[in-house]
Amino acid sequence: MIRNPILPGFNPDPSICRVGSDYYIATSTFEWYPGVQIHHSRDLANWTLVRRPLERKAQLDMRGEPDSCGIWAPCLSYADGQFWLVYTDVKRYDGNFKDAHNYITTSPTIEGDWSDRIYVNSSGFDPSLFHDDDGRKWFVNMLWNHRSEGYGGAPKTPSFDGILLQEWDAQSRSLIGPVKNIFAGSPLGLVEGPHLFKRNGWYYLTTAEGGTGYDHAVTMARSRSIDGPYEMHPNLYLITSKDHPKAALQRSGHGQYVETPDGQFYHTHLCGRPLEPHRRCTLGRETSLQKCVWKDDDWLYLENGTVVPDVEVSALNGAVPIEKPRRTDYNFDGGKLPMDFQWLRTPQPERLFSLSQRPGHLRLFARESIGSWFEQSLVARRQEHHRFRAETVIEFLPDTYQQVAGLTHYYNRYKFHALAVTLHEKLGRCLTILSCAGNYPDGRLVFPIDGGVAIPDGRIQLSMEVTNNDLQFFWQAEGMGAWHAIGPVLDAGVISDEGGRGEHGSFTGAFVGMFAFDTSGRAQIADFDWFNYDEL
């Protein structure tokens, strides 16, 4: 049995690729570095994160990019003895423009080094590469129209001006031939996320429509010719929860089709699991997988006979999900950042942190303020559960209130809570809480414990417990043996896509991790010995 979501926590826009009996899913990472998450499975029920291929400046540099820009909707495929990864690097979100640049990188193996990026075009985002059975390759992406009234946070259908098709020549590494707009989408609008595949002489096109909020859908169309015209699926939508507000998997859309070696059929899609009473998806957009069937009309349908995705679907050979440990301990002893963790935007992580300067510790070099779009010393992992506890221990000796380091529940510069060690003129070394609960566009901070709470010398343990919409911070001096709650219960639900600006205002997910900033510019160091994450 496959239990959805198969990739919990922030893992949107899933592109699935099969090579033999191996399955890979690539998902968007937006401003988090390295770029693109690739998970692997042999049974479709159990998935392991194996690679983030965009890991150097020649592939990706997002310094200065606003929140929720960066890597949008990658497409992973395999042909000619190598993997192909197509992706967008979006440089702008607010206003009428997107400045979306599309690239290709390749590798003979998922785990190996990927090539420097090859520029393709900038006409729109969500690119995909289709390898036809005659050896030709076709590049598709949505077309962005800046003349519409649509803008960041308030999309309008005319901004999404159809799906473009053009041939890609692998020898010259360039687009060739005419550009054609092959699909305008359904009346639902906001057409994006195109993927092509071929079966029984038909070219099938799946797209995402309705925006990535609660009206999201996977739309399907087909044509005998790759450049159309395309006719719509009898149901219009292959997958959607838009008319079913009680469905467990909401915001369902944007995915890709895959066939198994023994002739079974599945389709990925992103989804969200809202928490009441505000219907905020604190885990961001997650990845699910639906079992499908082909009917005599040569159209694909969900196996359950509806368009609404299931939480549980049948798996290959009766595979069952292996229960993951409820607790994960990270001790930073290996000299390499654990795979679960990422940082923000920069291809120069050596300026943010080190695992070698003090072996067994994650050393952060405090840089710009929390929420900076350039050099922010923040190392974090995804929140994967609605109820969790995170703990860490910090050694930090600030000599000014401009030096701050600690533990954070983080979404972006407008949505975060942080418990941190700093210095106060009267209290001396102390704990402070910094919080921005969705204050857009000002990003104004509040300080729930005012000046702070004085703390003794030595290592300080910090923790947080998130229970659905509620967050409580705790602390203790190491060796004292007692945790102390600090500050009020904070709104954890605002650390979500829907928090603050609203459902189309941002597209990532909640992270929990360690941070340090030093706005004096002296790059004070903060050492973290370990970090624990517990599902509650």
* Burial class of residue 172 in the structure, from the number of CB atoms within 10 Å of its CB (0-12 exposed, 13-18 middle, 19+ buried): exposed
Kindly name the residue from 375, 384, 395, 503 that is annotated as catalytic. Answer: 375
User: Cα separation of 437 and 79, whole Å?
Assistant: 46
Beta strands 128-131; 137-144: pairing state: antiparallel
Residue that the structure tokens 């070698």 belong to: 356
User: Cα separation of 132 and 443, whole Å?
Assistant: 48
User: Cα separation of 142 and 25, whole Å?
Assistant: 21
Instruction: Extract the runs of DSSP E, i.e. beta strands, from 413-451.
Output: 415-424, 428-437
Considering just the CA atoms, what is the radius of gyration of the chain in Å? 23
User: Cα separation of 494 and 491, whole Å?
Assistant: 6
User: Cα separation of 468 and 398, whole Å?
Assistant: 33
Q: Is 159 helix (H, G, I), strand (E, B) or coil?
A: helix
Q: What's the number of CA atoms in the CB half-sphere (13 Å) around residue 363?
A: 14
Question: Which of 32, 66, 79 shows the shortest CA–CA distance to 52?
Answer: 32
User: Is-contact 283 12, C-beta < 8 A?
Assistant: no
Question: Which of 205, 382, 338, 267 shows the shortest CA–CA distance to 23?
Answer: 267
Give catalytic status of residue 209 as yes or no.
no
Q: Catalytic site residues?
A: 375
